[in-house]
Structure 1
Amino acid sequence: MPRLMLHLHSLLVQEQRRLVLWAPVGLALGAVLYFGLLHTEPNLPVGFVLPCGVAVLASIAAWRRRYSLWGRLLWGGCITVAIGFAAAWGGTHRHTPMPDLPRFATEIAGTVQAIALLPPEDGMDAPFQRRVDLAQAVFYNALDDGMPPLRRVLSVYLQPNDPAALRVGDHLRVKALLQPPPFPVLPGARDRQFEAWFANQAGSGRALGFVQLVVLAQGHKLQLRFENLRERINARIHTILPGPEGGVAATVLVGASETVEKQLREDFAASGLAHLLAVAGLHLGIVMGLVMAASRLLLATTEYTALRWPCKALAAFCAWGAGLVYVLLTGAHLPAQRSLLMAAVAVLGIAAGRRVVSMRGLAVAACVLVLWMPQVVMGVAFQMSMAAVMALVAGYEVLQPKLMRWRASTTGLGHWLAWHSVVLALTSVLAGCATLPVAMAHFGVIQPFFVVANMVAVPLMAVWIMPLGLIALAFMPLHMDAPFLWLLGVGIRPIIWLAHMVAHWPAARVVVPHMPRWGLLAVMLGLCWICLWRQRWRWAGCAGLVLGVVSPWLLVQPDVIISPDGGLVGVRESDKIYVMGQSRAARPVMQAWGQYFAQPVGIFPPEGETPDGALTCGAENTPDTCVALLHGQDVVVRRQDASDGRLLLPVDICTGADVVISVAPLRASCLNAPIRLDRFSAWENGAEAIFLHKSGNVLRTDRAWRGQRPWVLKPGGHGMPVLPLAPSE
């Protein structure tokens, strides 16, 4: 043990200049500890005051042990984890509680905050559907009379044939049927209530009538101006480029990704080109690179400015200003904000004469982002962005000397093209391999041909699509943008064709089961271990990567699952998931189940049995009841009951049943069954999963899995009641 500690100490001494790079990792671990491991929400003293006190005490201890490497490592880790925990608690409680939305059709009045055009589902001849985000919404019904305006945003889907001409800032009134953010379809599945809490969303709804404009848009707020500008540019793009080319062009120029058709989006995802439809570092880097090159060339054309002004620094600041406008124009989404923050660090490095692309710049950007919005550590955008950039920086730290020697030793056009092809392939491999486990965890897919698609699509995006798009935006006020948009569409068509072709190759989209949280954590820590160190011990992080990648197959999956509303019951066998029952949300629930288990999902007929005979429905004069024999356990499922549970299940079916599930209330049926689940239990506990085993069955519920947290709605999806304002005297 002393020799091992001495060896570790020598390794840390060699890597001591890299220890500061682990500060954002500690902050992220503190946020993960708060968001992912707690089941009860801590109060102010425990959630914020105690971590801050720990950080202060650890800072004092670190100062007193500043000459000890182990002391700095230990107490520095305590500081960052405590600060990350406190930042997560503060970021959570900055948001207002979820309101209790009406469960019946009601009149809504609010101010239009954003307008989104959604592609038609019935073909290109159908009109685009509009979705409006309403701020300061007020409900007009007897229960909510006198209520204060909501401090969260409501998303309302308008009727396709609504003739109202809307602009951001308009005050409108519409009758709609609202619903809160949905519950997870499985314990441990995607939590849309968590996402809605931090996105300041209150829920969504569908309009039952036409919109009535109350007050037209007034004021000159910067946000309103940019939103209206985005809407006009989006409409202009779709006028010149109808079809899928217009959706891709609107995505990269104004961030209107919702206009991309579903099939095209799936093709981009299956071919590994989904990042082209998410405005982030790639698009911002191209925009800033073009503006910086043009600005520096313009400054160098004049002898006075070339000799007396810091042209490189000025061009970098101009490029960052253009990047800021581009981020605002595309909606200022989180990946774009992260990229703009990293670009700011790079610009400051250029101005100070420091190296621009470095792991320290990435660490500074990550620290600021986690402290500002700690919930990003749980999102796919932050994880994929950080994994890709970290892998690129670490990879080129090792490969760049060899690449530069090879480039200096070769001449000619052929060698130049070969060098750029190799660099592009290396970039795609590094970024793709680093983000592949993250895509497995969040999307349940692997795209093995991403390198082939990116080697063609990314250069075309950099040298053709984005330059022509910027030129079109510049000429749009002069109404001279049509030729450039047409050429832009010409460049988009090959990418669409490539995405479609690669997506239909054999094994282009390999589905994998759900990755547990500890598997994703092992992947991210292993990747950080490989990228943040420089010595040979960095390769020990491969163990974390391998453990995380194989974790979906190490996880024991449930055998029976119940939807959050209790209307659907799924019985999982080795080759398929058989679903019984009825639900208004049957389609999204079944899709989510299929992605979670990486198995096909199908509705089981009212009568029949599976090929192996494990599941039988409609036998023994019980047309609405199915019986399954799984792992030696008898599972009884009542899939439909017109009497709403007043008709009891037969005694012979209940005898010997280990699990009894009913889409209607069970009431007095099968009282001796060890596990009894019905509509009431689903209403109270959310989605439920049953693990069958001969030694004993285990029931896991969504409410027990997530615990009592601010973003978890009450049973039935109820939130905080919207109380009316007190009457004024």
Structure 2
Amino acid sequence: MAFAKKVEAILLGQGRALAAWLPVVFSAGCLLYFLPRHEPGPAWACLTASLGALVLWRGWNRLISRSLGLAVVMGTLGFLAARGQALRQPPMPALPALAVVMTGEIAELTTSRDEGQMAQRIRLRHAVFETGVDIGMAPMRRDLLLFTHDGQVYESGMMLRLRAVLRPPDWPDFPGARDRQREAWFDGLAGTGRILGRPEILQSPQRYFLARWREKIATEISRHLAGQRAAIAATLLAGHGEGISKATRAAYAASGLAHILAVAGLHLGLVMGVVFFTTRQALVLWPWLGLRLPCREIAALAALLTGMAYVALTGFHLPALRSLGMAGLASLALLAGRRVLSMRSLAVVALILLIASPVLVLDLSFQMSFAAVMALVAGYEALRPWFISRAERGIKGGGGHHLILLSLTSALAGGATLPLVMAGFGSFQPWFIIANLVAVPVAAFCVMPAGLVALLLMPFGLARIPLWVMGQGIGLISLIADGVAALPLAHVAVPVIGGKGLALYMLGLTGLCLWRGRARFGFLLPVMAGLVSPFLSPWPLVLISPDAGLIAFSENRRWVVGAHGGLENRVLDAWMQAWPGPMRGMDDAASCTGARCTLTYHGQRLWIWFAPLSPEEWGPDCQHDGFVITAQPLPAGCQPGRFIDRFTVWRDGAVSIMPHQGKLEIRSDRSWRGERLWVPRVGFRGVPNLPQALSE
């Protein structure tokens, strides 16, 4: 009884801050759906929700019971919401194995230029295949991502007839890697493809006014700016980010400025801030009007409407939508005379977005956005007494004070998201604060205001001067990015944080920001555990790609990579990002002789064959009790003790061999992900497209 009273006193001490934990519990329920290796049913979730509701109802007079019951109900609702979203997705269709002629409508179009070559990515909707078995088929319910380099000008809404080679979503590069099949399942994609020849335009665009407006803005920008300045300006003003080259992205990422290339809270805040300041100053220029109108509220509404237009103009990207939700709540708080930004407003936005799309709990950009805002709110709440005491003493904020604030903002937001960057990209940028101290003010006072003026003057053909100013600011930021990226240790490769380590870090960061009192520092333990987790996990001994076209093994923390084609470079990059280390070929490995490599681990021997051999060339390895790994099918009569061949990979996806307690453990992608809706069954090629019913 005394323990219950103590717990109740602790909960009462948290006050209204407990409400901010509701989206945390809801997201835990969403995550619980994605964790099992089998498709969970709703029975136990409904039972748990009933128990939670019972505790919530019967425990009306005790805070502990009500809190526990509400947490159980919210977690169960998150689980059911995630399961419902997964079940609502249309099944994966069967795609033709050979090149096929199809017709469809352009739903989205992005154009990029890299090294002088223009590439276009077309999202094709309502595709219909022109093959004998597909006569009368209904339009596909899922979209296709098609790539072309033909140089023809397209617009969203066009009807095309084209010939393309299609492929379903790729398997993960290794067990536990990025799940592109799950992303395609929830994104409504059926697969990707490459267009052969030049598509035929059957119909001009009739809809997609907003998409065509964005394309016209990007075209206008390309008339006045060139190179990467035009690509970055098109990203910031029209949401077309595919024109940014890999070198530019690498420089911005190495300097900690990658957030400038993604339309999110920073850009929306700058646009709304410029509109708010300009509108309010314009209203108070006439004292009679300024004294009789609520200038601040009018400026807040104008800024919010401009922010909504900016988010629509840049393509309704998810980070911008999240920021718009926060901006809407901040505007309402300003109109109501409440605090503009608080943990509860952040919790409301997070809960709304998770209810709309529970799969966001796995999205890296979602995690980074809320981690940054949460750290900023908690950090400034903790430092608020210091700022209030300065105001009471009449200390005026000078340049040094503003520099401290800017540094603190960069440190809080960058420090909170840095482990997430390490988890997503396997890199660490120690100089990000220095780069942001200069680049963010340039973006705030030059790039975004000039871009906003350019948008207003484009209909009158007067956007040349503001676009030039914007280009100069972008050039300065790019110069800063290149300079910081060239510093020593600017881009340090680190092992990728796994799912468990990332969950520990997010739990610790959430508790550190949301909990009140000194007990919050206890959440530093899961934060540290999550950060050190990748350095404590063992390296794989052998890695095999999803199509068995690439095999690599580690030898004294160095990777030995077998012969492979250019199509396997993406998989190899993913391996090197997850486990960074020196790489060499088979000719330089001491354990390799010709096309055969022999490894030994705790007395267990592994033979890796990179070339097809006959049973005579295999020799005794075929009948040995050891471990045989080959990229080719085993010959008839070959029966080693344990083996992995091309058929194993075809059936189970990518394979890794991990040392575990003195033994070798085989981890396949199928055993890692299990039997889920987005994981294809063995031999599954998709649901056939059925013809439409005949009309009477």
TM norm. shorter chain > 0.5 = yes
Cross-structure match for 1:250: 234
* 1:405 corresponds to which of 375, 389, 394: 389
Q: Residues 528-549 of structure 1, C-alpha deviation per residue, up to 9 Å, x if partnerless?
A: 1110012000000000100000
Q: Does the aligned pair in 1 maintain the 2:547–2:654 contact within 8 Å?
A: yes
Cross-structure match for 1:142: 132
What amino acid does structure 1 have at the position aligned with 2:338?
A: R
**Kindly tell me: are residues 143 and 95 of structure 1, through their superposed partners in 2, closer, same or farther at Cα, counting changes over 3 Å?**
same
What amino acid does structure 2 have at the position aligned with 1:41?
A: E
Deviation larger for 263-272 or 548-557: 548-557
Q: For the residues of structure 2 that align with 1:427 and 1:417, how far apart are their CA atoms?
A: 15
User: In the alignment, is residue 393 of structure 1 matched against residue 377 of structure 2?
Assistant: yes
Shift of 1:166: 1.3
Q: Does the aligned pair in 1 maintain the 2:628–2:640 contact within 8 Å?
A: no
What amino acid does structure 2 have at the position aligned with 1:632?
A: G
Q: For the residues of structure 2 that align with 1:648 and 1:187, how far apart are their CA atoms?
A: 34
What amino acid does structure 1 have at the position aligned with 2:598?
A: V
**Kindly tell me: are residues 61 and 575 of structure 1, through their superposed partners in 2, closer, same or farther at Cα, counting changes over 3 Å?**
closer
Alignment of 1:633-712 (within 5 A): 633-641=604-612, 649-654=617-622, 656=624, 658-668=626-636, 670-673=638-641, 675-692=642-659, 695-712=662-679
Alignment of 1:172-211 (within 5 A): 172-211=160-199
* 2:250 corresponds to which of 266, 277, 289: 266
Shift of 1:647: 5.1
* 1:722 corresponds to which of 681, 689, 692: 689
Cross-structure match for 1:169: 157
What amino acid does structure 1 have at the position aligned with 2:127?
A: A
Shift of 1:165: 2.4
**Kindly tell me: are residues 105 and 646 of structure 1, through their superposed partners in 2, closer, same or farther at Cα, counting changes over 3 Å?**
farther
User: In the alignment, is residue 713 of structure 1 matched against residue 680 of structure 2?
Assistant: yes
Q: Does the aligned pair in 2 maintain the 1:153–1:202 contact within 8 Å?
A: yes
Normalised by the length of structure 2, the TM-score is 0.96
Cross-structure match for 1:299: 283
User: In the alignment, is residue 629 of structure 1 matched against residue 600 of structure 2?
Assistant: yes
Alignment of 1:222-621 (within 5 A): 224-302=208-286, 305-406=289-390, 409=393, 416-583=398-565, 585-602=567-584, 604-605=585-586, 608-610=587-589, 613=590, 615-618=591-594
How many corresponding residue pairs? Answer: 696
* 3-state SS of paired residue (2:242): helix
Shift of 1:303: 5.4
Cross-structure match for 2:77: 83
User: In the alignment, is residue 72 of structure 1 matched against residue 60 of structure 2?
Assistant: no
Q: For the residues of structure 1 that align with 2:583 and 2:87, how far apart are their CA atoms?
A: 39
Q: Does the aligned pair in 2 maintain the 1:631–1:693 contact within 8 Å?
A: no
Q: For the residues of structure 2 that align with 1:93 and 1:635, how far apart are their CA atoms?
A: 43
Deviation larger for 190-199 or 663-672: 663-672
**Kindly tell me: are residues 177 and 193 of structure 1, through their superposed partners in 2, closer, same or farther at Cα, counting changes over 3 Å?**
same
Q: Does the aligned pair in 2 maintain the 1:609–1:617 contact within 8 Å?
A: no
Cross-structure match for 2:105: 111
Q: Does the aligned pair in 2 maintain the 1:41–1:710 contact within 8 Å?
A: yes
Shift of 1:457: 0.6
Q: For the residues of structure 1 that align with 2:544 and 2:129, how far apart are their CA atoms?
A: 33
What amino acid does structure 1 have at the position aligned with 2:200?
A: Q
Q: For the residues of structure 1 that align with 2:284 and 2:616, how far apart are their CA atoms?
A: 87
**Kindly tell me: are residues 717 and 288 of structure 1, through their superposed partners in 2, closer, same or farther at Cα, counting changes over 3 Å?**
farther
Deviation larger for 94-103 or 625-634: 625-634
| 5+ long unaligned stretches in structure 1 | 619-623
Q: For the residues of structure 1 that align with 2:424 and 2:460, how far apart are their CA atoms?
A: 44
Q: Residues 52-92 of structure 1, C-alpha deviation per residue, up to 9 Å, x if partnerless?
A: 56435423421331331211221121011101101101111
* 3-state SS of paired residue (1:173): strand
Aligned-pair identity in percent equals: 41
Q: For the residues of structure 1 that align with 2:526 and 2:345, how far apart are their CA atoms?
A: 25
Shift of 1:661: 1.4
Q: For the residues of structure 1 that align with 2:383 and 2:210, how far apart are their CA atoms?
A: 42
What amino acid does structure 2 have at the position aligned with 1:678?
A: D
Q: For the residues of structure 2 that align with 1:41 and 1:434, how far apart are their CA atoms?
A: 33
Shift of 1:168: 0.9
Q: For the residues of structure 2 that align with 1:118 and 1:141, how far apart are their CA atoms?
A: 32
Cross-structure match for 1:42: 40
* 3-state SS of paired residue (1:454): helix
Q: For the residues of structure 2 that align with 1:52 and 1:294, how far apart are their CA atoms?
A: 53
Shift of 1:304: 6.0
Shift of 1:409: 4.3
Shift of 1:584: 5.9
Q: Does the aligned pair in 2 maintain the 1:633–1:693 contact within 8 Å?
A: no
* 3-state SS of paired residue (2:90): coil
Q: Does the aligned pair in 1 maintain the 2:621–2:628 contact within 8 Å?
A: no
Q: Residues 538-566 of structure 1, C-alpha deviation per residue, up to 9 Å, x if partnerless?
A: 00000010000000012223211110011
What amino acid does structure 2 have at the position aligned with 1:525?
A: L
Q: Does the aligned pair in 2 maintain the 1:633–1:694 contact within 8 Å?
A: no
What amino acid does structure 2 have at the position aligned with 1:176?
A: A
Q: For the residues of structure 1 that align with 2:680 and 2:610, how far apart are their CA atoms?
A: 27
* 3-state SS of paired residue (2:89): coil
* 2:122 corresponds to which of 129, 132, 157: 132
- Indicate the RMSD between aligned Cα atoms, in angstroms: 2.0
* 3-state SS of paired residue (2:497): coil
Shift of 1:306: 3.3
What amino acid does structure 1 have at the position aligned with 2:110?
A: A
Q: For the residues of structure 2 that align with 1:215 and 1:427, how far apart are their CA atoms?
A: 50
Q: Does the aligned pair in 1 maintain the 2:101–2:131 contact within 8 Å?
A: yes
Shift of 1:474: 0.7
Q: For the residues of structure 2 that align with 1:196 and 1:305, how far apart are their CA atoms?
A: 54
**Kindly tell me: are residues 723 and 213 of structure 1, through their superposed partners in 2, closer, same or farther at Cα, counting changes over 3 Å?**
same
Q: Does the aligned pair in 2 maintain the 1:625–1:639 contact within 8 Å?
A: yes
**Kindly tell me: are residues 721 and 309 of structure 1, through their superposed partners in 2, closer, same or farther at Cα, counting changes over 3 Å?**
same
Q: Does the aligned pair in 1 maintain the 2:372–2:417 contact within 8 Å?
A: yes
Deviation larger for 354-363 or 657-666: 657-666
Q: For the residues of structure 1 that align with 2:332 and 2:436, how far apart are their CA atoms?
A: 30
**Kindly tell me: are residues 692 and 397 of structure 1, through their superposed partners in 2, closer, same or farther at Cα, counting changes over 3 Å?**
closer
* 3-state SS of paired residue (2:378): helix
Q: Residues 26-71 of structure 1, C-alpha deviation per residue, up to 9 Å, x if partnerless?
A: 0010011001x2111134x43xxx5356435423421331331211
Cross-structure match for 1:621: none
Deviation larger for 354-363 or 342-351: 342-351
Q: For the residues of structure 2 that align with 1:715 and 1:207, how far apart are their CA atoms?
A: 28
**Kindly tell me: are residues 657 and 506 of structure 1, through their superposed partners in 2, closer, same or farther at Cα, counting changes over 3 Å?**
farther
Cross-structure match for 1:14: 13
Q: For the residues of structure 2 that align with 1:463 and 1:303, how far apart are their CA atoms?
A: 27
Q: For the residues of structure 2 that align with 1:554 and 1:503, how far apart are their CA atoms?
A: 29
Shift of 1:486: 0.9
Q: Residues 355-385 of structure 1, C-alpha deviation per residue, up to 9 Å, x if partnerless?
A: 1111110010111111111111101111111
What amino acid does structure 1 have at the position aligned with 2:516?
A: R
Q: For the residues of structure 2 that align with 1:324 and 1:617, how far apart are their CA atoms?
A: 64
Q: For the residues of structure 2 that align with 1:669 and 1:457, how far apart are their CA atoms?
A: 66
Q: For the residues of structure 1 that align with 2:554 and 2:450, how far apart are their CA atoms?
A: 51
Q: Residues 204-241 of structure 1, C-alpha deviation per residue, up to 9 Å, x if partnerless?
A: 1111111111111124xxxx111101111112212211
Q: Residues 673-714 of structure 1, C-alpha deviation per residue, up to 9 Å, x if partnerless?
A: 2x2111111111000111246843211110111111111133
Q: For the residues of structure 2 that align with 1:550 and 1:435, how far apart are their CA atoms?
A: 16
User: In the alignment, is residue 154 of structure 1 matched against residue 144 of structure 2?
Assistant: yes
Normalised by the length of structure 1, the TM-score is 0.92
Cross-structure match for 1:26: 25
What amino acid does structure 2 have at the position aligned with 1:484?
A: P
Q: Does the aligned pair in 2 maintain the 1:158–1:207 contact within 8 Å?
A: yes
